């Protein structure tokens, strides 16, 4: 640490206000009372988002310019309050005193966030007022604080712009692939025919052998669950498997079949297998007849129009589900010959590979930018800027 720096606790330099939630009957969406925030869900990049809830019962107040910290999982993220607001039990307000520049404090709390959240995955469920007050703060003279804030402001603004560009490029790469998908299957060629899934192959819903009988499980054949779908449609065969005995209690799906999640938040998620597998009851499968190419069907099932029909055919309950009979009745469009299907699928294979390559590059850029932010913060609060 450079000469002129000191270490103190937050309580020596700031006032900490622990949030307290009003009774729910005092909440409203009509703008009556004070804006009410109760957790990280309304955090922006640096400033809290516009309010969606207000309260006429005022409990704990944060002022404009106070730093808001999320005190329940996730613990540690921070944002600035942009107005006088009421804060619930998921937040605390930190109000810096005259000797501590609030932007300097904000950046230092960003730097401390991994330590506040917990190391090696041991994330704390919450942090209380006294624990916040005990957090260590390194500080120096106000002019030096302001100098450091100026450097970080400029650097973070540049990083934010670069990050926005990388995220936009990432979205564009995905949108291009999805647009081409939709275009090919909307502008069908001559002779294409609509067929129900049940007309072009064998449809099944998976099943799970009794987990209480451990002899059902082994490495004889892969046992696929929704978590085993990769982003490119391939499957992870290296997780759970069934024994030969377990296979007799399950439903075998032969190689070159299409698989789709049929229940829950990931309903409609698609994949394909290049070997024999089994699946659990959360997955529907189609093993195409001769003359129908499985990868062509896989790409068609990715389209927005097919995905929309899956959702429309599912039960409109809290947990959406499409049963085998409704799924089997969904239609796809097929060119008149197998070679045309393979030619179209090959084009999508190439486009998908290029999209994956671009996604990897842009994700690397995003990771590099995050690492740069952490490096700058480390330098700033160890007196190296």
Per-residue model confidence (pLDDT) at position 382: 86
The reported pLDDT for the residue numbered 119 is: 44
- Domain regions of the chain by residue span: 6-140, 142-183+336-385, 193-334
Whole-number Cα distances in Å, 249 to 56, 202, 377: 60, 19, 57
Same fold across 6-140 and 142-183+336-385: no
Query: CA-based Rg of the chain, rounded to a whole angstrom?
Result: 28
Give the pLDDT score at 1. 60
* Token pair listed for 285: 């499968």
Rounded CA-CA distance 167/359 in Å is 10
Residue-by-residue pLDDT tens, the chain, 385 positions: 677 899 999 999 999 999 999 999 999 999 999 999 999 999 999 999 999 999 999 999 999 999 999 999 899 999 999 999 999 999 999 999 999 999 999 999 999 999 888 744 444 578 999 999 999 999 999 999 999 999 999 999 999 999 999 889 889 988 989 999 989 998 888 899 999 999 999 999 999 999 999 999 999 999 999 999 999 999 999 988 999 999 999 999 999 999 999 999 999 999 999 999 999 999 999 999 999 999 999 999 999 999 999 999 998 777 899 999 999 999 999 998 999 999 999 999 999 999 999 889 999 999 999 999 999 999 999 888 8
* Architecture of the domain made up of 193-334: Alpha-Beta Complex (3.90)
Identify the pLDDT of residue 326. 96
Instruction: Say if residue 129 is exposed, middle or buried (CB neighbours under 10 Å; 0-12, 13-18, 19+).
Output: middle
List, in sequence order, every residue forming a beta bridge with 277; answer none if it has no partner.
222, 253
Residue 270 DSSP symbol: E
The DSSP 8-state label assigned to residue 103 in this structure reads H
Q: Which CATH class is domain 142-183+336-385?
A: mainly alpha
Chain centroid, CA 266 distance in Å: 12
pLDDT at 319: 86
Question: Would you say 294 and 341 are in contact if contact means Cβ atoms under 8 Å apart?
Answer: no
For residue 265, what are the CA distances in angstroms to 193, 229, 261, 330? 31, 14, 9, 20
Q: Hey, what CATH class is 6-140 in?
A: alpha beta
CB 257 within 8 A of CB 294: yes
**Residue 204: which of 266, 282, 269, 264 has the closest Cα?**
282
Whether omega for the bond prior to residue 189 falls within 30 degrees of 0, making it cis, is no
For residues 379 and 377, what is the distance between their CA atoms, to the nearest angstrom? Answer: 5
pLDDT computed for residue 269 by the predictor:
97
Long-range contacts of 112-119 (CB under 8 A, 24+ apart): 112/76, 112/136, 113/76, 113/77, 113/78, 114/76, 116/75, 116/76, 117/74, 117/75, 117/76, 118/75
Which is it for strands 201-205 and 27-28: parallel, antiparallel or unpaired?
unpaired
Count other Cβ atoms within 10 Å, centred on residue 363: 13
């Amino acid at each position: 640490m450079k000469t002129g720096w000191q270490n103190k606790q937050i309580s020596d330099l700031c006032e900490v206000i622990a949030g307290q939630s009003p009774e729910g009957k005092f909440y409203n969406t009509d703008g009556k009372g004070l804006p009410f925030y109760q957790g990280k869900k309304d955090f922006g990049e640096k400033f809290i988002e516009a309010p969606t809830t207000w309260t006429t019962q005022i409990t704990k107040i944060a002022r404009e310019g106070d730093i808001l910290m999320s005190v329940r999982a996730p613990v540690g993220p921070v944002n600035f309050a942009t107005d006088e607001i009421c804060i619930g039990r998921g937040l605390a307000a930190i109000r810096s005193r005259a000797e501590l520049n609030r932007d300097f404090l904000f950046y230092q709390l960003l730097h401390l966030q991994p330590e506040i959240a917990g190391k090696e995955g041991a994330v704390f469920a919450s942090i209380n007022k006294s624990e916040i007050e005990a957090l260590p703060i390194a500080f120096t003279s106000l002019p030096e604080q302001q100098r450091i804030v100026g450097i970080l402001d400029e650097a973070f603004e540049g990083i934010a712009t670069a990050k926005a560009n990388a995220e936009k490029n990432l979205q564009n790469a995905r949108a291009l692939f999805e647009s081409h998908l939709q275009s090919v299957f909307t502008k069908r060629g001559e002779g294409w025919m609509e067929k129900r899934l049940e007309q072009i192959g064998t449809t099944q819903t998976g099943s799970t052998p009794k987990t209480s009988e451990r002899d059902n499980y082994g490495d004889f054949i892969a046992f696929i669950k929704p978590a085993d779908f990769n982003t490119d449609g391939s499957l992870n065969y290296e997780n759970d498997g069934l024994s030969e005995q377990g296979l007799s209690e399950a439903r075998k799906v032969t190689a070159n079949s299409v698989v789709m999640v049929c229940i829950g938040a990931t309903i409609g998620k698609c994949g394909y297998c290049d070997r024999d597998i089994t699946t659990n009851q959360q997955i529907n499968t189609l093993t195409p007849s001769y003359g129908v190419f499985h990868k062509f069907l896989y790409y068609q099932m990715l389209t927005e129009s097919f995905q929309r029909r899956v959702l429309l055919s599912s039960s409109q309950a809290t947990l959406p589900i499409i049963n085998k009979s409704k799924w089997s009745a969904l239609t796809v469009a097929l060119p008149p010959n197998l070679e045309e299907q393979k030619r179209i699928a090959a084009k999508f294979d190439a486009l998908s590979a290029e999209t994956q390559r671009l996604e990897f590059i842009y994700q690397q850029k995003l990771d590099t930018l995050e690492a740069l932010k952490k490096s700058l913060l480390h330098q700033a609060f160890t007196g190296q800027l």
